[in-house]
Amino acid sequence: MVDLQKKVIVADDHVTSAMFQTIVLRRIGYEVLPAMDGFEVLQQMAANTPDLVLISSQLNDPGGLETLKAIRGKEEFSDVPVVMVAEKFSDEARRSYNKAGCSGFLTKPITLKKLNIILQQMVHYERQSRQKLRIPFNKWVEVQFEGAWKKFFALSLSEGGIYLRASHPLPVKSELAIRLELICGTVLELTGTVLYHQDVYQADPQKDPGMAVGFLEVGPADLEALNRHIATILIGDLVEDQDEKVLAIDG
């Protein structure tokens, strides 16, 4: 789901927390390098400069603050974003981390919304990155165009749009109505416009032939339902599996 795969180091000596953060990041398209202490963080960075480092404030030997200072003490890592992760941060802790060169803060339980905001703010792309998380959908949806309803198989979904498989896609800029059912059974009726086509004969092995449809003016309730559906698909199994609140669907 990330156009050009980026590297993220997850530094956390709590196995469950490190595992869940790693799985989520990999699911949304990032290469993840787990590290269980500050020394390993520096070793990982020396071998492969990452695009982002997530450090647990509770990291041991050395601690999170000491690891942050060690990273900032190396000129070659001065531009690498470093985000501190914890259940909460006191004002004093925030001041200490900011003084040491912290780029941002991420609080647990981690939601996809909070994580995606951090990723969009911190990870640099040579070309524009996708702002909204996209998931496989793989369901039939109904589309109305010029008064007629027709079924299309939807391959992927985000809060911003949907990709429909089609050998004969509708014209670009066509406005249409879309009816789709979410995992909770909610049926959404949305409007959209065709953004672009993927032709049968175009040489892109990553995409099936079809059309990308951008949603128009999604209301607050529908947007909430879409985001909850996306979060449930991406992390619902992890939320059910965790013994402590590392991740959350809402928050």
How far the first Cα of the chain sits from its last, in Å, is 23
Other CB atoms within 10 Å distance of the CB of residue 17: 20
CATH fit for domain 7-122, picks 3.40.309.10, 3.40.50.2300, 3.10.20.30, 3.40.50.300: 3.40.50.2300
pLDDT attached to residue 126? 63
What are the sequence ranges of the domains in the chain? 7-122, 134-235
Give the E-state strand segments of 66-221 in sequence order. 82-86, 104-107, 134-145, 148-158, 161-165, 175-181, 187-198, 210-216
- Of all residues in the chain, the percent with pLDDT exceeding 90 is 83
pLDDT attached to residue 1? 47
Tell whether the model's pLDDT for residue 3 goes beyond 50. Answer: no
Q: What is the pLDDT of residues 36-95, one digit of tens each?
A: 999 999 999 999 899 999 999 999 878 999 999 999 999 999 999 999 999 999 999 999
pLDDT attached to residue 240? 94
pLDDT attached to residue 204? 66
Complete edge-to-edge strand list for the sheet that includes strand 82-86? 31-35, 7-11, 52-56, 82-86, 104-107
The string over 155-183, giving b where at least 16 C-beta atoms fall within 10 Å of a residue's C-beta and e elsewhere, is bbbbbbbbbbbbeebbeeeeebebebebe
**What is the pTM for the complete model shown?**
0.86
pLDDT attached to residue 154? 97
Architecture of domain 134-235 in CATH?
Beta Barrel (2.40)
Q: Residue with structure tokens 């974003």?
A: 81
Name the band, by pLDDT with cuts 50, 70 and 90, for residue 221.
very high
Average model confidence (pLDDT) across the chain: 92
| 105: its two tokens | 């803060």
pLDDT attached to residue 251? 64
Tell whether the model's pLDDT for residue 23 goes beyond 50. Answer: yes
